[in-house]
Amino acid sequence: MKTIVLSAAVLAVAFAFTGCKLVKTGGDGTTAQVAADESGDDIRNAARIQKTYEPQLVPLIRSSAVDVATLKAAIGESLDAAGQKYGHRGAGEGGAWSFAIKGTGKVVSAALQSRAAHIDLDIDGDGTADVVIQIGPVVMGSALRDFAPFYSFTDFRDQIEFAKLGRALNAAAVKGLTRPTSDVTGKTVTFVGAVSLHSAGETLNVVPISIEIAP
Amino acid sequence: MTISRRLLVSVAVFGLTGTLAGFAAAADKIAIITPGHDNPFFKAEAVGAEAKAKELGYEAIVMVHNDDANKQNELFDSAIAAGVKAIVLDNAGADATVAAVKKAKDKGIPSFLIDREITASGIAISQIVSNNYQGAQLGAQEFVKLMGEKGPFAELVGKESDTNAGIRSKGYHDIIDQYPDLKMVAHQTANWSQPEAYKVMESMLQAHPEIKGVISGNDTMAMGARAALEAAGRGDVIVVGFDGSNDVRDSILKNGIKATVLQPAYAEAQIAVEQADKFLKTGKTGVAEKQLMDCVLINAANAKKLETFALAK
């Protein structure tokens, strides 16, 4: 308790004198000066991820993930209604709806050699892909960032810093995945992740927080 | 000229309604301040905002700052003096604008920013920002596809002092650099300018005749590059732009430039006025201050639907 009070006091004093923004950079309570401009983005975002990814984002996505079939049916009726029921539009009214999504399906195709590797899953058993699971290292979109209500664009210096958080969250997600090393076509995969949609007809390009490949 | 005339008109209207006070209330005024209308993008913003303001029963005072922060500051003084209820602004500098917006705020006049953000939160009521990073990724994905994932290419970068130049370039590279067979052989600024892009493209072609593609930070530079390529008999080179201008739309429809990315300028300006209206009537907008507006890829498939920075449904 004393340490916390002390570091808060140090922080307040340092803030008052330098005008610099201080962030907690380690679990040991140390603080460091972080430049308010672009050069400080990565440090600030790393601190945000440490504070929120495992403790908040992963549990949020697990607890609010909707089955592929349920989500597809809801989107088929109305993307806006589905968004209001299950989704979040973190970047604002002019952005996509983001959803937490989960499912189990058979791999109909996979591109594992690509830098933007993906596994395509058939969920409903018709032999065609229903979802594309992006396993990186290059991951498109910002579904993880935009599903979470605790990342608000207003809290960021500019859209560069906000975009960097989106990329860093994607990187944190795919880093923890068990990546298949050989062809997985025909295998059964269970996943949990997030997906963003601008329109009802779009492919479900999922950013996974976990995948399990049945042996 | 238009500006001073409109100001005069509004002053006259104000004077007239002033004498009629007690019989009819004067329409509340909204100031709409953007860079110069010689760039059709900014004109579309002003036209969109003005149309929405009138529709909602406001009188619009339209002014331009030509990316000059001092001029912008004077326009804020004029707007405050004219008694506007709200200001809709595409600003003249992320840092320099903070003081002007704060000045209006201190006089009780809320500002609603469009297109570009400022470096402070909590001063403007809304900042509705084009998602340049998302848009650049869309443009880059299309470029990669058009190039068949390989070949030498050049990049034209916007004005280095403009945040959007940097973020678009970053969005491009975050995609393109993942393809090792796509090789950037030239990379230069042409300061958003069409004639400058023409010259830069000419010298790039001389140094690197092997170029197969050009990715450009905006549409005016893409137009300049395309003209230089055609003049050199290199109409085969793939060009992709950014903004969604009518010029590039027409080029796409003639199989010239291959793609661009639309920033929904018209819609963005209208949303800003709607939020201003809601704020004036209820004291809040109901949405977060900073909002991102996603961009849309424009290519031969949907170019016909594009008109003045708006895509028909």
- A44 lies in the same domain as A11: no
Measured in degrees and rounded to the nearest 5, phi and psi for residue B184 equal -80, 115
In a domain, B28, yes or no: yes
pLDDT tens track for B259-309: 999 999 999 999 999 999 999 999 999 999 999 999 999 999 999 999 999
- A25 lies in the same domain as A82: no
pLDDT tens track for A32-48: 578 888 889 999 999 99
Instruction: State residue A13's pLDDT score.
Output: 38
Which residue is it, tokens 């395509």? A120
- A125 lies in the same domain as A77: yes
pTM reported for the whole predicted model: 0.81
- B89 lies in the same domain as B112: yes
- B137 lies in the same domain as B254: yes
With the C-alpha atoms ordered B27, B31, B37, B42, is the resulting torsion angle positive or negative? Answer: negative
Question: Nearest CA to A157 among B168, B118, B131?
Answer: B118
Q: Which of A138, A153, A156 to mutate to probe the B interface, most B CBs <10 Å?
A: A153
Query: Which residues on B lie below 8 Å from A156 (Cβ)?
Result: 290
> Residue A138 and residue B167: Cβ atoms within 8 Å?
no
Instruction: State residue B56's pLDDT score.
Output: 97
> Residue B287 and residue A92: Cβ atoms within 8 Å?
yes
pLDDT tens track for A98-133: 999 999 999 999 999 887 899 999 999 999 999 999
Range list of H helices, chain B:
2-19, 40-55, 69-81, 97-106, 132-146, 163-176, 194-207, 219-231, 246-253, 265-282
How far is the alpha carbon of A17 from chain B, nearest alpha carbon, in Å?
20
Range A83-87 average pLDDT? 96
Return the number of other C-beta atoms located less than 10 Å from residue A215's C-beta: 4
Pairing relationship of beta strands B310-311 and B306-307 according to DSSP bridges: antiparallel
How far is the alpha carbon of B266 from chain A, nearest alpha carbon, in Å?
13
Domain that holds residue A93: 38-213
Q: Please give the residue of chain B at the shortest CA–CA distance from A138.
A: B178
- A11 lies in the same domain as A50: no
Helix (H) or strand (E) holding A83: helix A79-86
- A8 lies in the same domain as A58: no
Domain that holds residue B45: 24-130+265-293
- Interface residue ranges in chain B relative to chain A, Cβ cutoff 8 Å: 94, 117, 119, 121, 127-129, 131-134, 137, 141, 163, 166-167, 170-171, 174-175, 178-179, 264, 267-268, 271, 287-294
ipTM over 0.90: no
- B227 lies in the same domain as B80: no
Of A152, A153, A157, which is closest to B119 when you measure between CB atoms? A157
In this structure, what CATH number is given to the domain that contains residue B207?
3.40.50.2300
Buried b (16+ CB within 10 A) or exposed e, B203-219: ebbeeeeebbbbbbbbb
- B55 lies in the same domain as B159: no
Question: Nearest CA to A142 among A88, A178, A93?
Answer: A88
Q: Which of A138, A159, A196 to mutate to probe the B interface, most B CBs <10 Å?
A: A159
Residues with Cβ < 8 Å from B259, sequence gap 6 or more? Answer: B139, B142, B143, B146, B240, B241, B252, B297, B298, B299
List all residues of chain A from 98 to 127 with a beta carbon under 8 Å from chain B.
115-116
> Residue A140 and residue B166: Cβ atoms within 8 Å?
no
- A28 lies in the same domain as A53: no
Cα–Cα distance measured from residue B313 to residue B301, given in angstroms and rounded to the nearest whole number: 13
Cα–Cα distance measured from residue B139 to residue B68, given in angstroms and rounded to the nearest whole number: 30
- A60 lies in the same domain as A79: yes
* E runs forming strands in chain A: 21-24, 31-34, 66-67, 97-111, 116-122, 131-137, 188-197, 204-213
Instruction: State residue A31's pLDDT score.
Output: 53
Residue A198, chain B, CB below 8 Å: the answer is yes
Residues with Cβ < 8 Å from B261, sequence gap 6 or more? Answer: B135, B136, B138, B139, B241, B242, B243, B244, B295, B296, B297, B298
- A32 lies in the same domain as A51: no
**By 3-state DSSP, what share of chain A in percent is helix, strand and coil, each rounded to 5?**
40, 30, 30
- B126 lies in the same domain as B202: no
Cα–Cα distance measured from residue B286 to residue B294, given in angstroms and rounded to the nearest whole number: 20
Work out the mean pLDDT of chain A and round it to a whole number.
86
Cα–Cα distance measured from residue B288 to residue A153, given in angstroms and rounded to the nearest whole number: 8
- A188 lies in the same domain as A111: yes
Cα–Cα distance measured from residue A94 to residue A98, given in angstroms and rounded to the nearest whole number: 12
Higher pLDDT, A183 or B61: B61
Higher pLDDT, B173 or A33: B173
- B193 lies in the same domain as B273: no
> Residue B292 and residue A153: Cβ atoms within 8 Å?
yes
Q: Please give the residue of chain A at the shortest CA–CA distance from B275.
A: A93
Cα–Cα distance measured from residue A19 to residue B144, given in angstroms and rounded to the nearest whole number: 44
- B148 lies in the same domain as B248: yes
Q: Is the pLDDT of residue A8 over 70?
A: no
Return the ∠ at Cα A14 (arms to A10 and A17), rounded to 5°. 145
Cα–Cα distance measured from residue A135 to residue A119, given in angstroms and rounded to the nearest whole number: 7
Chain Cα centroid distance, residue A91: 13
In a domain, B34, yes or no: yes
Amino acid letter at A4?
I
- B73 lies in the same domain as B100: yes
Q: How many domains does chain A have?
A: 2
pLDDT tens track for B10-57: 444 444 444 443 344 689 999 999 999 988 899 999 999 999 999 999
Residue A10, chain B, CB below 8 Å: the answer is no
Q: How many domains does chain B have?
A: 2
> Residue A94 and residue B292: Cβ atoms within 8 Å?
yes
